[in-house]
Amino acid sequence: MRTLTVDLNERSYPIYIGRGIRQQKALFDEAIHGKQVMIVTNDTIAPLYLDAMVDMLSADYKVDTCILPDGEEFKTLDTYGTIMTSLLEAKHNRTTTVIALGGGVVGDMAGFAAATYQRGVPFIQVPTTLLSQVDSSVGGKTGVNHPLGKNMIGAFYQPQAVIIDTDSLLSLPQRELSAGMAEVIKYGLICDVPFFDWLEQEMPALMSLDNDKISEAIYRSCLAKANVVAQDEREGGVRAILNLGHTFGHAIETQMGYGNWLHGEAVAAGSVLAMDLSWRMGNITDEDFRRTVDLFKAAKLPILPPVNMTLANFVERMALDKKVLDGSLRLVLLGALGEAIVTSDFPMEDFNACLTDALEASKQANLAIS
């Protein structure tokens, strides 16, 4: 097992990465404060992993469960209300601990419930998708979607611990593995060129779930994220670089209807758009751009936006981004490979051209298939 720390003074916490550690009770005992536990999961993950966790913890705790419907389309205030109702009906008090057992959707919602139940109770992240293991379970962003925008309602609230069992990836569908790989590649692009080089070499092994390699990819990703979060917990500055591709990506997810394009797929297509704009601005080379596109392709991710979106759709959706400051759109771009910048200083004609060209390429690709 490997351990990392997210260094946030009194809110610091460990990230454990290892095989089978979902069933290491000692890791939970360290992080559970009282005698009550509420495990929040969904109806896909429950049949796979819930009973074993309930059995393990029931020896020492009063364990209740809350099983949510599966899907990004259920990441709503209504579903958040379901978690609150479960906590109240089972009479959980302020010393209860919420455990999020699942992917980013469960983690974001359970975290938001923990942040707000009786003004805040401890919680533990047990992420079960690659995406949640390398990104969403670390750093304390919690929340739900609004029909008008992704993750528009939420709170910064750090977990007590993140317990990453790499064995849970064995049951993950390949499309979800690819989606998680988008966030892994992101770390190489924004801050770690040697990691980007390593990913180019190891992508086939990673896609076939070689355990040593996937553990290494998770470790390096969590290390990068923990480092950024420790510098800027509440995204006053540098943390925004973690959103490479997300402004374009959130526009895609919202426009296409939550759950139709997976978050990681939208981030992949969005990252290619951000790289394209960075290339048009002369910040990265032809070779950097080509390598990035090839790496996303090797991870079986989309590199073009949805065929049925328009430039106007992007402009309208992106105007709602949380990084908009005083009315001007700020984007995460690259100043060079491995060096992200957050800027509103980009030529509008390049922004329009990169979207127009990508949308046209998407139409051509679609025509070629049909």
Interface with ligand NAD (CB under 6 A)? 42, 44-45, 48, 70, 72, 75, 102-106, 108, 128-129, 131-132, 135-136, 139, 141, 150-151, 168, 171-172, 176, 179, 263-264
Bridging pattern class, strands 36-42 and 123-127: unpaired
* Vertex 189: Cα angle to 182 and 343 (nearest 5): 105
202 a known binding residue?
Answer: no
| 183 has catalytic annotation | yes
Q: Which does 159 bind (CB under 5 to 8 A by kind): ligand GLY, ligand NAD, none?
A: none
Q: Which does 103 bind (CB under 5 to 8 A by kind): ligand NAD, ligand GLY, none?
A: ligand NAD
| 239 has catalytic annotation | yes
Q: At closest approach, how far in Å is the CB of 104 from ligand NAD?
A: 2
Residues 200-259 that bind ligand GLY (CB under 6 A): 239, 242-243
Residues facing 141 on adjacent strands = 156
| 119 has catalytic annotation | yes
Q: Which residue's CB comes closest to ligand GLY?
A: 242
Assigned token pair, 345:
């200083």
Binding-site member from 64, 108, 135, 288 for ligand GLY (CB under 6 A):
135
Catalytic residue among 42, 151, 243, 313: 243
Do the Cβ atoms of 313 and 323 come closer than 8 Å? no
3-class SS at 282? coil
A 10 A CB-CB count for 119 gives 7
79 a known binding residue?
Answer: no
A 10 A CB-CB count for 23 gives 15
106 a known binding residue?
Answer: yes
* Cβ closest to ligand GLY, residue 141 vs residue 213: 141
| 225 has catalytic annotation | yes
Q: Which does 288 bind (CB under 5 to 8 A by kind): ligand GLY, ligand NAD, none?
A: none
CA distances to 48, 159, 267, 353, 356 from 350, rounded to whole Å, are: 47, 41, 20, 5, 10
Kind and range of the H or E run holding 100 = strand 97-102
Q: Which does 265 bind (CB under 5 to 8 A by kind): ligand NAD, ligand GLY, none?
A: none
- Whole-angstrom distance, CA of residue 133 vs CA of residue 219: 9
| 246 has catalytic annotation | yes
| 290 has catalytic annotation | no
- Whole-angstrom distance, CA of residue 117 vs CA of residue 138: 20
Q: Which does 125 bind (CB under 5 to 8 A by kind): ligand NAD, ligand GLY, none?
A: none
- Whole-angstrom distance, CA of residue 145 vs CA of residue 112: 12
- Whole-angstrom distance, CA of residue 80 vs CA of residue 132: 19
3-class SS at 333? strand
144 a known binding residue?
Answer: no
Query: Does 179 help bind ligand GLY (rule: CB under 6 A)?
Result: no
Q: At closest approach, how far in Å is the CB of 287 from ligand NAD?
A: 29
Query: Does 151 help bind ligand GLY (rule: CB under 6 A)?
Result: no
Q: At closest approach, how far in Å is the CB of 158 from ligand NAD?
A: 11
Catalytic residue among 239, 280, 317, 330: 239
Catalytic residue among 22, 92, 141, 220: 141
Where helices occur in the chain by DSSP H, the ranges are 25-31, 51-58, 77-89, 104-116, 130-131, 174-191, 193-207, 211-231, 246-256, 263-280, 286-298, 311-318, 348-369
Binding-site residue positions for NAD(+): 70-75, 104-108, 128-129, 141, 150
Which amino acids are annotated catalytic? 119, 141, 183, 225, 235, 239, 243, 246, 250, 263
